[in-house]
């Protein structure tokens, strides 16, 4: 009986703040689609379940990777999970959206590829990869983005940096400050077994559940030095601890912003003259915030996350397996389940030199377990990435 209770607890724990996060002070949720609405899935002729993160390559192209992280973290063995991959959405500027699968050229075929957070600088694309046993833990894989003469895009593998024993299945998101330095979040208080989350011991499951249920701040942002094809050197950023430190973004100047999904906090850091990071501000958020993207065109952060009501969460939790299959095998172009998604703007108020938040989008059936929000250069589209859905969603600008 104890084993069954513990297993049930960890299944909930793995998705707390993502699948089952309810607002502590429940209020009636209302849609806010003044700026973006009419959200539909971007249909693909290949499986792209779990398109958790994405970045703009240019104003016409969005690049992202996908992996069925949802099934991994509820404890399905890795040998039953298909390797992830990457994709590109093109035709954004012309409003003629097309999606293509990106080949990974030169990536070792003997290794697993379960991508999570991503970052791009010009043509260099950085990916957090949960390599598990075959890679001896998590690593940052680095690719060149290559566009052929016929506009086919592919990713050319360059090198990796290993993250060490603290990171196995928990390296979530990253920011690359330069070719020697990057920041990475660990969204769980412990590393997972090399064999995957399905091999957690009962004690490890109880520890994770305890940290999350009691909101113990055992997750962090790490400051790391690249070591090509070797072990990176990393240390915890002071003041970065949270319950589930998840997304991280950089304004290309001096501000780093992180999200704490379960703690429902945003933390901003300022890069000091000596390069160190200093905690500047802690902001409450209505969201179980996941990814953060910096919108260079409008000079603002975009924070996405779920805000399910308790009732909606209970319906989904009642039959988890059936819910997952309904979501990931949905043949249509719109969500079949109620799953509230939100995107907020976070921008600098010059008078106070403080970051303030503003609601951009809220909808109940736009995307399941929304992970990120990205607005196209023109402002015509809001792209929603997802931790567990069948594809990304595209929402249109409203007149």
* DSSP-derived secondary structure for 92-123: TTTT--EEEEEEEET--TTS---EEEEEEETT
User: Above 90 in pLDDT, residue 12?
Assistant: no
Decide: helix, strand or coil at residue 215: coil
- The residue assigned the tokens 């969603």 is 393
The stretch 357-382 carries a mean pLDDT of 96
Beta strand 233-236 with 220-225 is antiparallel
Structural contact between residues 159 and 230, judged by C-beta atoms closer than 8 angstroms: no
C-alpha 330/C-alpha 332 separation (Å) is: 6
Rounded mean pLDDT of the chain? 91
User: Above 70 in pLDDT, residue 51?
Assistant: yes
pLDDT of residue 14: 45
Alpha helices per DSSP H over 200-309 = 202-213
C-alpha 312/C-alpha 201 separation (Å) is: 30
Structural contact between residues 141 and 183, judged by C-beta atoms closer than 8 angstroms: no
Using alpha carbons, list the distances in angstroms from residue 360 to 340, 357, 378, 395. 14, 9, 16, 12
- Please indicate whether residue 120 or residue 312 has the higher confidence score (pLDDT): 120
Q: At what angle do helices 2-13 and 202-213 cross, to 10 degrees?
A: 50
Terminal alpha carbon distance of the chain:
56
C-alpha 358/C-alpha 230 separation (Å) is: 42
The stretch 24-40 carries a mean pLDDT of 83
User: Above 80 in pLDDT, residue 286?
Assistant: yes
pLDDT of residue 321: 72
Instruction: Go through 122-150 and write b for each residue having 16 or more CB atoms within 10 A of its CB, e for each that does not.
Output: eeebbbbbbbbeebebbbbbbbebeeeee
Structural contact between residues 35 and 397, judged by C-beta atoms closer than 8 angstroms: yes
The conformation of residue 176, written as its DSSP 8-state character, comes to E
Q: Confidence class of residue 209 from pLDDT cuts 50, 70 and 90?
A: very high
Positive or negative, the CA dihedral 65, 71, 81, 129 is: positive
pLDDT in tens, 80-125: 999 999 999 999 999 999 999 999 999 999 999 999 999 999 999 9
C-alpha 308/C-alpha 342 separation (Å) is: 10
The conformation of residue 364, written as its DSSP 8-state character, comes to S
pLDDT of residue 27: 59
Positive or negative, the CA dihedral 332, 334, 340, 341 is: positive
Share above pLDDT 90 across residues of the chain, in percent, rounded to a whole number: 84
pLDDT of residue 149: 83
- The residue assigned the tokens 């890795």 is 78
C-alpha 293/C-alpha 277 separation (Å) is: 19
Q: Confidence class of residue 13 from pLDDT cuts 50, 70 and 90?
A: very low
Does the global pTM surpass 0.85? yes
Q: Confidence class of residue 309 from pLDDT cuts 50, 70 and 90?
A: low
Q: Confidence class of residue 314 from pLDDT cuts 50, 70 and 90?
A: low
- Please indicate whether residue 348 or residue 308 has the higher confidence score (pLDDT): 348
Q: Confidence class of residue 323 from pLDDT cuts 50, 70 and 90?
A: confident
Q: Confidence class of residue 7 from pLDDT cuts 50, 70 and 90?
A: very low
Structural contact between residues 382 and 372, judged by C-beta atoms closer than 8 angstroms: no
C-alpha 25/C-alpha 17 separation (Å) is: 15
Using alpha carbons, list the distances in angstroms from residue 134 to 78, 129, 131, 168. 11, 11, 6, 11
CATH of domain 2-397: 2.120.10.30
Structural contact between residues 210 and 228, judged by C-beta atoms closer than 8 angstroms: no
User: Above 70 in pLDDT, residue 20?
Assistant: no
The stretch 141-155 carries a mean pLDDT of 94
pLDDT of residue 322: 77
Give, in degrees to the nearest 5, the angle at Cα 106 between 58 and 227. 80
The stretch 215-240 carries a mean pLDDT of 98
Strands of the 171-178 sheet, one edge to the other: 171-178, 181-186, 220-225, 233-236
The conformation of residue 32, written as its DSSP 8-state character, comes to B
Q: Confidence class of residue 313 from pLDDT cuts 50, 70 and 90?
A: low
User: Above 50 in pLDDT, residue 5?
Assistant: no
pLDDT of residue 310: 62
- The residue assigned the tokens 């724990």 is 13
Using alpha carbons, list the distances in angstroms from residue 103 to 85, 97, 152, 377, 385. 8, 19, 10, 26, 20
pLDDT in tens, 186-201: 999 999 999 999 999 9
Q: Confidence class of residue 3 from pLDDT cuts 50, 70 and 90?
A: very low
pLDDT of residue 360: 98
């Amino acid at each position: 009986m104890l084993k069954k209770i513990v297993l049930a607890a960890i299944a909930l724990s793995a998705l707390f703040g993502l699948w089952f996060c309810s607002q502590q002070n429940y209020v009636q949720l209302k849609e806010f689609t003044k700026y973006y609405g009419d959200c539909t899935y971007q249909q693909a002729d290949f499986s792209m379940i779990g398109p958790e993160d994405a970045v703009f390559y240019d104003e016409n192209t969005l690049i992202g990777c996908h992996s069925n992280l949802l099934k991994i973290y509820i404890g399905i063995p890795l040998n039953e999970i298909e390797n992830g991959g990457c994709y590109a959405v093109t035709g954004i500027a012309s409003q003629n959206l097309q999606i293509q699968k990106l080949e990974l050229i030169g990536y070792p075929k003997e290794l697993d590829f379960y991508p999570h957070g991503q970052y791009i600088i010009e043509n260099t694309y950085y990916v957090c990869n949960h390599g598990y046993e075959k890679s001896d833990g998590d690593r940052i894989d680095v690719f060149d983005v290559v566009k052929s003469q016929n506009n086919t895009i592919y990713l050319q593998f360059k090198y990796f940096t290993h993250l060490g024993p603290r990171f196995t299945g928990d390296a979530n998101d990253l920011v690359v400050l330069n070719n020697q330095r990057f920041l990475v979040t660990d969204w769980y208080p412990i590393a997972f077994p090399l064999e995957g989350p399905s091999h957690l011991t009962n004690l490890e499951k109880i520890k994770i559940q305890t940290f999350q249920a009691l909101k113990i701040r055992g997750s962090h942002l790490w400051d790391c030095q690249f070591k090509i094809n070797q072990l990176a050197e990393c240390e915890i950023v002071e003041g970065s601890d949270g319950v589930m430190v998840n997304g991280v973004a950089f304004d290309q100047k001096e501000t780093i912003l992180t999200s704490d999904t379960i703690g429902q906090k945003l933390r901003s850091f300022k890069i000091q003259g000596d390069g160190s990071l200093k905690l500047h501000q802690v902001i409450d958020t209505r969201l179980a915030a996941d990814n953060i993207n910096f919108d260079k065109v409008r000079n603002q952060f975009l924070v996405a996350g779920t805000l399910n009501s308790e009732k909606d969460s209970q319906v989904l939790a009642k039959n988890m397996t059936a819910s997952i299959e309904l979501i990931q095998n949905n043949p249509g172009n719109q969500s079949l389940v109620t799953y509230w998604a939100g995107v907020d703007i976070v921008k600098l108020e010059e008078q106070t030199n403080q970051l303030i938040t503003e609601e951009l989008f809220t909808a109940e059936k736009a995307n399941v377990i929304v992970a990120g929000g990205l607005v196209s250069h023109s402002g015509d589209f809001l792209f929603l990435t997802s931790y567990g859905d069948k594809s990304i969603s595209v929402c249109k600008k409203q007149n």
